[in-house]
Amino acid sequence: MKTKLCLNIFIGLVLQFNTNILASKPITNFTKLDSIFQVQDSTIQKVWEINNGYFSSTKLLISPNFIYTISDSGLVYCYDFAGKEKWTTEVLGVTSNNSVLYKDLILTSTEQGDLYSINSNNGELLQVVGIGEDITSDLAIIEISTATSKTIGIVLGTSEGNIFCYDAFTFELLWEKNICNNHILSTPLVINDKIIFLSSNSSLYCVNSKSGSLIWKYEFSDNQNNSAINFPVSNGKNIFSLSPEGKLFAIDILLGKKIWLSNTKGVLNQIYATLDKQKLFLFDNNGFMTVYSAKDGKEISKVDFKKSDLYSYIIAEKQVNTLVGFSDGSLYTFDSKFVSKELISANQIPITSINVINEDEFIIKDINGKITFYKID
């Protein structure tokens, strides 16, 4: 497999091309809001709202000072916490996989196989490398430590079943391996010195983070492909994932052996593990959430959000309550006893990101790129 590094001349051409495009891009619609509206028992205040007019299926990136959002067409925006645009830049390609933020670097990739690094302070394009294959996974950051040095790596998977690790600062190729014949999907799951990859037939592959060498694999038959969203997940001891038939199972992270299996049916292709790693949330397309124990897979509780035709959700935990946004655009909160209430009514525009700022403030983004900063009274 040949990996090509693009020269500084190419970067200059890209920067010039970006300048020409950005000069003619639509002006972002920023609105400062003082509106307060009552939904059930909670009062929500919209502090500000941004409409950039671009389709965006990925999550927001949040630093202590800035908010970053990336459209699927490759536009990268930076805002401060007052909702003011700081800079905009562009990469060439479709950016539908989730990017990562590491210190002063934004690392993003295109479906067409290019990996970019961007200065998060000013939007300057720093480096680009061509993988030579379609990139089909999200990106993940790993730390590779030896007795004398520490390297920050960026890992990803491709449509050819290959996995790559690049130095996040120099884009030097650290290792590459072929682990299967299927697409690599979802976000690589980094646990200490191991990385878990998920293939399109829901099989799991555990590799060594220093070399990419396969440690174990847990394979299903490849006659049923799935589109994965945000799984597998882990509690540090076991890996939790779904079989092609939708059954929830736990795999020992050291040995790759099945620990338990829960006969779930009809669930959406997502799993959420709570921050304390004790519980797992699964939804069906009617908005029925079932809570399972991460220890043994037994059912703990059920919550009926009374939905229909759901195909995705996104969850963010606060100190006391948990926020859940649905593909119908509605937003709910529920407490530790799983008592729920609606905060935002359905508008049929899927929520694609929720970021908790503190217990009373959060930011949501929908698939049309609208970003809204909320306060809860």
All residues at 6 or more sequence positions from 43 whose CB lies less than 8 Å from its CB, including other chains: 36, 37, 376, 377
Structure confidence at residue 5 (pLDDT) = 40
The answer to the question of residue 280 being in a domain is: yes
All residues at 6 or more sequence positions from 283 whose CB lies less than 8 Å from its CB, including other chains: 267, 268, 270, 289, 290, 310, 313
- For residue 249, the cross-strand partners are 241, 261
Report helix, strand or coil for 346.
coil
The DSSP result for 266-303, as a single string, is SB-S--EE-TTSSEEEEEBTTSEEEEEETTT--EEEEE
Structure confidence at residue 224 (pLDDT) = 58
The answer to the question of residue 267 being in a domain is: yes
Structure confidence at residue 124 (pLDDT) = 98
Q: H/E element holding 117? A: strand 114-119
- For residue 242, the cross-strand partners are 248
Domain range for 282 is: 230-309
The answer to the question of residue 126 being in a domain is: no
Count structural domains, the chain: 1
pLDDT tens per residue across all 377 residues of the chain: 434 444 333 344 443 444 344 444 444 566 665 544 444 445 789 999 999 889 999 999 999 999 999 999 999 999 999 999 999 999 999 999 999 999 999 999 999 999 999 999 999 999 999 999 999 999 999 999 877 889 999 999 999 999 999 999 999 999 999 999 999 999 999 999 999 999 998 899 999 999 999 999 998 765 555 566 668 999 999 999 998 888 999 999 999 999 999 999 889 999 999 999 999 999 999 999 999 999 999 999 999 999 999 999 999 999 889 999 999 999 999 999 999 999 999 999 999 999 999 989 999 999 999 999 999 87
The answer to the question of residue 188 being in a domain is: no
User: Between the CA atoms of 155, 160, 161 and 164, what dihedral angle is there, to the nearest 10 degrees?
Assistant: -20
The answer to the question of residue 289 being in a domain is: yes
Q: Any idea how long the chain is? A: 377
Cis before 232? omega within 30: yes
The answer to the question of residue 296 being in a domain is: yes
How many CB atoms within 10 Å of residue 160? 17
The answer to the question of residue 247 being in a domain is: yes
The answer to the question of residue 292 being in a domain is: yes
pTM: 0.88
Q: What CATH code is carried by the domain that includes residue 246? A: 2.40.10.480
Structure confidence at residue 10 (pLDDT) = 39
